[in-house]
Structure 1
Amino acid sequence: MTVHTETFINSSIELIWRAWTESDRITKWFAPAAEIQLKNYGKYELYFDPTNKNSMSTIGCKLLDYEEPSFLEFQWKGPDEFNDVMNDEKELTIVKISLLPYENGTKLILEHTGWGTTDGWIKAKNWHIKAWEQALSSLKSNMESGEGILSCN
């Protein structure tokens, strides 16, 4: 089972890459705080509640692989409500981001794998289907606004 979603963003592949791989850029569209280390097994931690980094975060998640500026693979944790299902550090889910350049922008493909089959896993997967659509919509609108750090080289 894979969560698969795609979007086209009217922006360069390089800027979209930076939006996913730089802490000060990912916080403009995804999470209010982040610590990203662009190296294999570097941190890929997003903090959705910066006042408590152990809650509602991807703390402990690592960047598994990347090929700049077109591919990124990282571990993922879900919200606290799914702690008992998907946030065990021995069995984290995996997110892959692929960026394909086009004449007027970039196609982004997101694949989220590693889902189990129990009811809890199905609820977590369904939650993430909506969450990823919202996140990519936020990225797209911020990148295409023509304003701010996400739109500048």
Structure 2
Amino acid sequence: METANAVENFSLTMTRQFNASKQSVYEAWTREEALTSWFAPASEMTTIIHLLELKVGGKYRIEMLETNGTSHVVRGEYVELNPFDQLVFTWEWESDEQNVNSLVTIDIKEIEGKTEMTLTHEKLASQELVDLHSEGWLGCLVQLENYIK
């Protein structure tokens, strides 16, 4: 008898429009100095880029540090890099004992003189993780909006 462990594919999608070029939005996701300015769900957090190998198959490791010293470290690998149009990367929390890799896709397109960015985070293991990541991404996107202004 063969058994398989089914993994649900929970996902979330968020879309934002920016009064900025596609290049500016893309570079906010791909330049170390940009990421350290906005890549955390709250402005009082500090972002530390430990590794950023911007190439397909390249790794990244980013730490988000709370004011109380609590550290949140995410790591992954770039799956696709299509300059100014799309980034796809795996997402794994170092503290996740199950080592569940989820997938983040950033799609960037120009619409009526503005840049629309859609973030899709898929292959999450539960609705609870969707809710937690939704809260985190909402905070990050507020920081991104403030950075791009």
TM-score over 0.5 (shorter chain)? yes
Correspondence 1:11-50 to 2 at 5 A: 11-31=20-40, 32-34=47-49, 35-49=51-65
Number of residue pairs matched by the alignment: 129
Does the 8 Å contact 1:23/1:33 carry over to 2? Answer: no
Look at both structures and tell me which one has the larger radius of gyration over its CA atoms: 2
Q: SS of the counterpart of 1:57? A: strand
Correspondence 1:127-138 to 2 at 5 A: 127-138=132-143
Q: CA RMSD in A?
A: 1.9
Give the TM-score taking structure 2 as reference length.
Answer: 0.78
Structure 2: gaps spanning 5 or more residues: 1-9, 41-46
Letter in 2 for 1:57: V
Higher strand share: 2
Correspondence 1:2-81 to 2 at 5 A: 2-31=11-40, 32-34=47-49, 35-49=51-65, 56-59=72-75, 61-78=76-93, 80=95
How many angstroms does 1:122 deviate by?
A: 2.3
Q: Percent identity?
A: 22
Letter in 1 for 2:80: D
